[in-house]
Amino acid sequence: MKIIYNDGHVAECPAEEEQHVIRHSAAHIMAQAIQRLFPEADFAYGPATERGFYYDVDLGEKKLTDEDLENIEKEMKKIIKENLPFKSFILPRAEAVKLMQERHEKYKEEHIGDLPEDAVISFFQQGDYIDMCVGPHVTYTKAVKAFKITGQSGAYWKNDAKNKMLTRINGVAFRTQEELDNYLKEVEEAKARDHRKIGKEMSLFMTDDLIGKGLPMFLPNGYTVWQELENYIKAKERKLGYLHVMTPCVGTVALYETSGHWAHYRKNMFPAMEVEGENFVLRPMNCPHHMMIYANKPRSYKDLPLRIGEIAHDFRFESSGTLKGIERGRHFCQNDAHLFVTPDQIEDEVSKVVDLIFDVYKDFGIENYRCVLSLRDPADTEKYHPDDEMWNTAEDALRKVLTDLKIDFTEEIGEAAFYGPKLDVNVKPAVGAEYTLSTCQLDFCLPAKFDLKYTDKDGQERTPVVLHRAILGSLDRFMAYIIEETKGKFPLWLAPLQVKVLPVSEKTLDYARGVYNVLEDKGFRVSLDERDEKIGYKIREAQLDRVKYMLVLGAKEAEENTVSVRNRDTGATETMSLDDFISKITEEINTKAR
């Protein structure tokens, strides 16, 4: 594929750049289509993205409909069929400004003012459309073969809420129709798995703007799952010597000034609130509270390692555009813990944390993940605590531990916490981009800031090292992950409803009630459908509820004192005694079978 650069020369496109050039060119073609359909449109930015492209456009009072988006796509196809050549030219600053003024392009004109004095101001033109751009682009519009408009959203000019809200029109583009078709299938799969959609269908959680964006509420079904996750991880931690605590959701600004969060993390925190002359803030994380628990009394080397755990409520200010159900909210509950250790205990404790992570992943069948050693960016003096010696010590120590443990890992600069390096375990979900689920951070910084001490065996005071770790990450995000991986078909031990009893008719209702009572008395999560509906309707509804086992009870079952067990996952039906069924599901729950 040939491409044209802003100086006018044409060359073969490097293979690794093809997608980007196609998508950038598609953005220009879309802008031309918008200009034809809405001549009053004023264009801002139109870049390529990881999988597509967008253009931010000022359409005045015009609100685009789905039909408008379809028409834009149709017009793009016309422009591609016209096979217009892309041409480039460069103008001096004054002439560039004049051209934008003549074309009433106020956003482009403002953008020119933001460019360095020595910037090359280049333009690309196809047909009657001219766009200020550095390029490169395809040589003819016909080179854009596979694309689709995917929707619209709002976007502030220059990403600044003080500026005007523009209309962002989004699209995707690929080299071939096959690649586009595969992407669209992936999108449909993502929609089917979306935890927000499934959460609504299964009555797991809800949000309401009157309560606040990013503040989800767990409904009875969802809270059941949440509690099972909490009980699961706490039981594992207790066996490993963790001591669980409960700490407040607020702290003084002074607490976070001491920890360094106020200096390095303030933009992610909610504003402070004044009470009786003292400033408080909703906590974004729990380490300062746990530091104070450690400092509550004198400690000896014999007390270490000290493992403090908490399912802690945290609050972070996330922009509304980044919020996503319970995967990313402004309130969430971390499966948090802080391990206070001596330097010679670091490797053993990190090893135990890593073992716990992989043990949990085995229980949940999580196999697609990778380990990352997240390091600071030494050039970023604003984000990171300024202590080169501390950073070098901490990074070398964690790198050595991971190497000694024979853990395969990559290193990424600029992904560390502000106070120390960390091991991130990134999972690749069934659909979508990978994200961090579990983490273990090595911290020499905060113990010193809080002046934490322990008395060593030689009687000298030493400063402990702290491991910050989260196994499930936040319960909220982990639950979202499990919902999307299973499509809401939870393993039996985790399911909000484990068994649904379905009498075929009123004649077997008394027998069904007896079965229900036995199961409820034994602690299973069970419901009884007593409605006067056809059994086929009851079964279909239970399937929509994603219930693992349905007990279909007719006259034969009542007469023989058996249950007909319909399996959600296989669709198969098996008849057995109630005792055998109880033994079956008890085993399945106890072994946490998937």
Residue-wise pLDDT for 306-339, tens only, equals 999 999 999 999 988 889 999 999 999 999 999 9
Looking at the fold, whether 230 and 375 belong to one and the same domain comes out as yes
Average pLDDT over residues 487-515: 96
CATH of the domain at 155: 3.30.980.10
Q: What is the pLDDT of residues 537-552, one digit of tens each?
A: 999 999 999 999 999 9
Are 457 and 540 contained in the same domain?
A: no
Residue 20 placed within a domain: yes
Q: Indicate if 411 and 283 belong to the same structural domain.
A: yes
Distance of CA 86 to the CA centre of its chain: 39
438 and 511, same domain (yes or no): no
Whether residues 187 and 226 fall in one domain: no
In this structure, are 290 and 411 located in the same domain?
yes
Q: What is the pLDDT of residue 577?
A: 96
How many CA atoms does the CB half-sphere of 373 hold within 13 Å?
Answer: 17
Same domain, 268 and 351: yes
* Domain assignment of residue 161, yes or no: yes
pLDDT of residue 220: 97
Choosing from 484, 513, 530, the residue where a domain stops is 484
Phi, psi at 438, each rounded to 5°: -120, 155
- Asked if the structure places residue 491 within a domain, the reply is no
Share of the chain above pLDDT 90, in %: 84
So what's the pLDDT on residue 46? 93
Residue 95 has phi, psi (to 5 degrees) of -70, -35
Say if residue 376's pLDDT is above 90. no
Q: Is residue 466 located within the same domain as residue 509?
A: no
Q: What is the CATH number of the domain that holds 393?
A: 3.30.930.10
In a domain, 493, yes or no: no
pLDDT the model gives residue 406: 87
When the pLDDT of each residue in the chain is averaged and rounded to a whole number, the result is 94
Runs of H (alpha helix) within 159-294: 177-193, 195-201, 220-239, 253-259, 261-264, 287-294
Question: Mean pLDDT lowest for which of 128-137, 259-268, 470-479?
Answer: 259-268
Query: Could you list the active site residues?
Result: 287, 316, 334, 336, 338, 422, 468
pLDDT at residue 240 greater than cutoff 80: yes
Over range 401-414, report the average pLDDT.
88
The token pair that represents 366 in the structure block: 């999580």
Is the pLDDT score of 383 beyond 80?
no
Among residues 166, 193, 220, the one where a domain terminates is 193
Alpha helices in 405-498 (DSSP H): 445-449, 475-486
Burial class (CB in 10 A: 0-12, 13-18, 19+), 560: exposed
Residue 569 domain flag: yes
Same domain, 277 and 143: no
Q: pLDDT tens digits for 90-106?
A: 999 999 999 999 999 99
Residues 270 and 415 in one domain: yes
The predicted pLDDT at position 299 comes to 97
Residue 453 lies in a domain: yes
Residue 419 has pLDDT above 90, yes or no: no
**203 Rama class: left (phi>0) / alpha (psi -120 to 50) / beta:** left
Q: Does the structure show a pLDDT above 80 at 354? A: yes
pLDDT at residue 407 in the model: 87
Q: Name residue 514's amino acid.
A: G
pLDDT band at 385 (very low <50, low <70, confident <90, very high): confident
pLDDT bin (cut points 50, 70, 90) of residue 247 is very high
Q: Give the tens place of pLDDT for each residue, 429-468.
A: 888 888 899 999 988 889 999 999 999 999 999 999 999 9
Place of tokens 């004192």: 561
- Nearest residue to 175 (alpha-carbon basis) of 72, 305, 51: 51
Q: Among residues of the chain, what percentage have pLDDT more than 70?
A: 100
What's the pLDDT at 384? 78
- Whether 264 and 329 map to the same domain: the answer is yes
What is the domain extent for residue 24? Answer: 2-193
62-76, 409-423, 506-520: the lowest-pLDDT one: 409-423
Domain-embedded: residue 199: no
Distance CA 287, CA 284 (A): 10
What count of Cα atoms within 13 Å lies in the side-chain half-sphere of residue 168? Answer: 19
The pLDDT of residue 437: 93
Domains of the chain: total: 3
Q: Please state the pTM of the whole predicted model.
A: 0.83
DSSP assignments along 491-542, one per residue: -TTT-S--EEEEESSGGGHHHHHHHHHHHHHTT--EEE--SS--HHHHHHHH
N residues, the chain: 594
pLDDT the model gives residue 398? 87
Closest to 505 in 3D by CA, of 482, 537, 527: 537
- Residue 535: give its domain's CATH number: 3.40.50.800
pLDDT of residue 445: 87
Q: Compute how many other C-beta atoms are within 10 angstroms of the C-beta atom of residue 514.
A: 15
The answer to whether residues 13 and 117 belong to one domain is: yes
Within a domain: residue 445?
Answer: yes
How many angstroms separate the CA atoms of 444 and 396, rounded? 12
